[in-house]
Amino acid sequence: MNKYYTLSRHDWEKSLANLINQFVIYAPVYYGEQQDYELIGESDIPHIVYNRPKPATPLKTFFLPVEENVMSTKAPPKQRIIMGVPSCDLAAANIQDEMYLNRDFADPVYKRNRDASILVGTDCHTIEEHCHCTTYGIKPYPEFNHDLTLSLMDETIYLYTHSEKGNSLIQAMEKFTHFHEPTENEIQALLDKRKEVEELLNHNNQGLPDYRKTGELVQHSGREIWKKYSQTCVSCGACATICPTCTCFLLMERPGFEKVRHLDACQYPGFEKVAAGEDPLRPLHKRFYNRYMCKYVWKPQKFDSIACTGCGRCIEACIGSINKNELFLELANT
Ligand code: SF4
Ligand code: SF4
Ligand code: SF4
């Protein structure tokens, strides 16, 4: 049953210290300019950040690491709790699941990594410059694909269960802590905060085309805009590897019968090169255009889930300072 639980931050931190014996815990830690997931030891607990938007690393990296030997049959020794997952990354799990779980063949390594994870989603109580989840129909608070929602307000932790795994985690904590039920006023304060952040996102992203229109805009664009925006691209592939919805990988053989899966990116030169030497995506602007066609045209045609969740990481990671939102504003206004 879905239910709210509250406890003081102090009691929550004591509970986490106990949970470390039973689970592997990852949570976001702040580094001054940005935050990222860290493996949490007892001394890290006071440094965990709450309700800040998006760690630098997307959630998908826990299920599809940058490099992984897919021949390994070793199951993780303990279940892992992944805390602080923003709703844009939880939404992105839909398309990863469609790709890796729900088709004719479920990828056993992805499934193993997914099953071993308890996902603690977080409300975003602030936003970053390039966050635009609401443009793509995603709320700035978790709605699905997670086990527990966590919010911190006024030194009180609010938990809301979403799954059996979430209920089991609450049960595990009940052995060493005592929960309360939040008052109606407290719940209302949480809901008001959600509304405030949603309005801020809508205000900041006025003019960006709605997700349902982006495909048409990309498809009916001329070649010149792709040449213009790809001018400063250095083919580093960061925009794709950091994207929570990108799904491409390469499989490489290694001595010792290892098969290593590496994340791939369509911005890399040679991404589509075939044995005879042909390379339809050799010109840089074509590779650049390919990424947009994949996300806004082909994936929406093939999958039920959206292939961009408006996290903004591709903008923040781009060495060439290419801003896809500026591109879409130009497409929408020409
Ligand atoms: S083709 Fe490009 S945009 Fe599409 S999933 Fe692969 S890397 Fe991402
Ligand atoms: S394309 Fe960019 S904004 Fe969209 S999900 Fe990927 S990284 Fe985030
Ligand atoms: S992150 Fe920027 S520079 Fe790097 S491949 Fe993507 S568009 Fe090009």
17-36 pLDDT, tens digit per residue, is 999 999 999 999 998 778 99
Give the neighbor-by-neighbor strand order of the sheet with 258-263: 67-69, 258-263, 249-254
Q: Is 244 in the pocket of ligand 2 (CB under 6 A)?
A: yes
Q: How far is the CA of 54 from the centre of ligand 3 (A)?
A: 20
What per-residue confidence (pLDDT) applies to 32? 79
Give the ligand at the shortest distance from the Cα of 313.
2
Q: What is the pLDDT of residues 158-169, one digit of tens each?
A: 999 999 999 999
Q: Is 157 in the pocket of ligand 1 (CB under 6 A)?
A: no
Question: End of a domain among 178, 204, 230?
Answer: 204
Enter the pTM of the model: 0.94
What per-residue confidence (pLDDT) applies to 161? 96
- How many angstroms separate the CA atoms of 28 and 172, rounded? 22
- How many angstroms separate the CA atoms of 206 and 122, rounded? 24
The reply to whether 135 and 17 lie within a common domain is yes
The reply to whether 153 and 20 lie within a common domain is yes
The reply to whether 197 and 83 lie within a common domain is yes
Domain span at 162: 4-204
What per-residue confidence (pLDDT) applies to 154? 94
Q: Is 124 in the pocket of ligand 1 (CB under 6 A)?
A: no
Q: Is 318 in the pocket of ligand 3 (CB under 6 A)?
A: yes
What per-residue confidence (pLDDT) applies to 20? 95
233: left (phi over 0), alpha (psi -120 to 50) or beta: beta
Which ligand 3 atom minimizes the distance to the CA of 320? 3
Question: End of a domain among 204, 237, 267?
Answer: 204
Q: Which neighbouring-strand residues pair with 150?
A: 122, 159
Q: Specify whether the CB–CB gap between 78 and 22 falls below 8 A.
A: yes
The reply to whether 192 and 325 lie within a common domain is no
The reply to whether 190 and 306 lie within a common domain is no
What per-residue confidence (pLDDT) applies to 139? 98
Residue 97: CB partners within 8 Å, gap ≥ 6? 114, 305
Pocket perturbation via mutation, ligand 2, pick of 292, 295, 303 by most ligand atoms within 8 A of CB: 295
What per-residue confidence (pLDDT) applies to 75? 76
The reply to whether 150 and 247 lie within a common domain is no
The reply to whether 25 and 135 lie within a common domain is yes
Nearest alpha carbon, ligand 1 atom 3:
291
Question: End of a domain among 184, 204, 224?
Answer: 204
Q: Count the residues in the chain.
A: 334
The reply to whether 145 and 239 lie within a common domain is no
According to DSSP, the β-strands at 148-153 and 156-161 are antiparallel
The reply to whether 244 and 263 lie within a common domain is yes
Q: Which residues of the chain have pLDDT under 70?
A: 1, 103
The reply to whether 54 and 152 lie within a common domain is yes
The reply to whether 145 and 235 lie within a common domain is no
Pocket perturbation via mutation, ligand 3, pick of 284, 285, 286, 318 by most ligand atoms within 8 A of CB: 318
Nearest alpha carbon, ligand 3 atom 2:
318
Q: Is 295 in the pocket of ligand 2 (CB under 6 A)?
A: yes
The total number of structural domains in the chain stands at 2
Q: How far is the CA of 213 from the centre of ligand 1 (A)?
A: 20
- How many angstroms separate the CA atoms of 285 and 6, rounded? 52
Q: Is 85 in the pocket of ligand 2 (CB under 6 A)?
A: no
Q: Is 246 in the pocket of ligand 1 (CB under 6 A)?
A: yes
The reply to whether 32 and 133 lie within a common domain is yes
Nearest alpha carbon, ligand 2 atom 6:
243
